Amino acid sequence: MNSSLKFIKDYFSFLYLKDNIKNMSNHNIFAQQLGQYPQTPENYQSEQFLIKEDKKGIYILIGIVLLIIIIGSLFIFRGKSTEKPEVTITTLLAQYCGNRVCEANENCYDCPADCPCPNDKYCDPNTKTCVSKGVCGDGKCDLYESKENCCVDCGCWYATQVCNRTTMSCEWLKMNLSDEDAIRFVREYVEKEGIAIKDIRVTGEYGDDEKMYKTVVVEIEGEEWPRYFRVDERGNVEEIHPI
């Protein structure tokens, strides 16, 4: 680099000297035109030599400047290419969800593909951590437990239901009313209206928070669709209309 700068300094000194010689030559030409003294062929040849050397020096100078720019650019590019890729790759890997590696900034809620929970646990959306699904019968109705699969922990839907601890499902209480009595109560209710019964039968039991009922279906003479009734344990009959 220092030798290049020295060459540039020497070259500009050469150009300064050449201009002085050129001016002297121009002065001789002007004097010749005035008839003071003739121009010698040696001066003319010297001037042509300086012009050629001038062009040659310009080309060399341009080449040196371009070479310095290219070398400097290579050093800058090499320095950048050896430092930044490692940092960039590391950053991308740390932020990549789906590489099957549970990173420090990932969890089961935001990236379940990398941080799945074991079979006996589930991901709590509040804490974003894997917690135990719980055991049916521990007195706590956990997230994966319900009235259908663990009534002993979660209870039943209605007060007229009881939990079967063997099947862990809710069952209706047994009614203190036989099917024969339910049919008799409904028959008496319908015949009071002067309706001829074609067929009558009990189809099931169900309840609510207050009572248990037996469902009775009655087919009427001359009617296309059957009618539905329910009877409680006290013999109260009520017609229901299925939706």
| pLDDT tens-place string over residues 191-232 | 998 889 999 999 999 999 899 999 999 999 989 999 999 999
Per-residue pLDDT band for 37 (boundaries 50, 70, 90) equals very low
Please say if the pLDDT value at position 11 is more than 60.
no
SS3 149: coil
Does 157 share its domain with 188? no
H or E segment and range at residue 231: strand 227-231
Judge residue 196's burial from the number of C-beta atoms within 10 Å of its C-beta, 0-12 exposed, 13-18 middle, 19 or more buried: exposed
More confident residue, 194 or 58: 194
Q: What is the mean pLDDT of residues 13-38?
A: 50
Length of the chain: 243
Does 208 share its domain with 228? yes
More confident residue, 213 or 27: 213
SS3 16: helix
Does 15 share its domain with 75? yes
Q: How far apart are CA 110 and CA 113, in angstroms?
A: 9
| Domain assignment present for 55 | yes
Does 7 share its domain with 72? yes
Q: What is the pLDDT of residue 10?
A: 59
Does 154 share its domain with 217? no
**Last residue of a domain, which of 81, 100, 115?**
81
Tell me the pLDDT tens digit for each residue of 130-160.
Answer: 988 878 888 888 878 899 989 999 999 999 9
**Last residue of a domain, which of 33, 48, 81?**
81
Contact 22, 43 (CB under 8 A): no
Contact 29, 37 (CB under 8 A): no
Question: What's the CATH number where 200 sits?
Answer: 3.10.450
Domain coverage including residue 155: 144-172
Residue found under tokens 């209870």: 155
Mean pLDDT of the residues in the chain: 78
- Write the secondary structure of 83-144 as one string of H (helix), E (strand) and C (coil): CHHHHHHHHHHHCCCCCCCCCCCCCCCCCCCCCCCCCCEEEECCCCEEEECCCCCCCCCCCC
